[in-house]
Amino acid sequence: MKKLTLILVAAFVVGLPLAAGAVTLTFDEFPIGTVVSNQYAPQGVIFLQGTNGNFPIITGDGAMPTSPVLSPNPIFAGNFTIQFPSGARDVSFISGFWDTVNSGKIQVFDPVNVLLGTFTNTTTGVQAFNFDSLGAIINRPDLVIGRISFDSFADPAGADIDNLTFNPTPEPSTLLLLGSSLAGLGGFALRRQRRK
């Protein structure tokens, strides 16, 4: 029985890398001028077109403390959607450079497209948006973010985002694969144990 326990513990430890960890996108992963859509899909996020049909673009912004940044397209003035296909928790980013208070609209949705909250910039300049397990919206840490729409149309010079950080939730297929592997290893070990 000790061998079975040891094998199950080893299988669990081997499976740990399948669990998602925090991801931070600084948008210097690709050159300035790159139109962004699904390049970050392996990290658990894709970017969708704005209402004008354009995907966001990586650009420089001398007014932001970090650069490059992800901007609506045309640069700074517009909107786009951040989508987490498997869902995400603890989502945050910085946004700027806001010229007018309440000129940006950021809407947060769950994976089935239910609106969880609408946020706006409360200051000019650069502002951090942190949805810390949706604690900023409602005190329900079990909820997962499915997408965020970013809209800077109302700002005279527009705005952008940087340092997008999130914890992807494991895909159901990953959990199924891990569970199947553990069950298979456990069954194999049990069968070997009985033969002795």
Q: Which domains does the chain have, with CATH numbers?
A: 2-170 (2.60.120)
- Average pLDDT estimate for 42-46: 97
Q: What is the pLDDT of residues 47-100, one digit of tens each?
A: 999 999 999 999 999 888 888 999 999 999 899 999 999 999 889 999 999 999
Q: With 0-12 CB in 10 A as exposed, 13-18 as middle and 19+ as buried, what is 6?
A: exposed
| Mean pLDDT for the chain overall | 80
Does 13 score more than 50 pLDDT? no
Can you list the positions of beta strands (E) in the chain?
23-25, 46-48, 57-59, 69-71, 79-98, 105-109, 115-119, 125-130, 145-151, 160-168
Does 37 score more than 60 pLDDT? yes
Does 17 score more than 80 pLDDT? no
pLDDT of residue 66: 85
* 130 or 28: which leads in pLDDT: 28
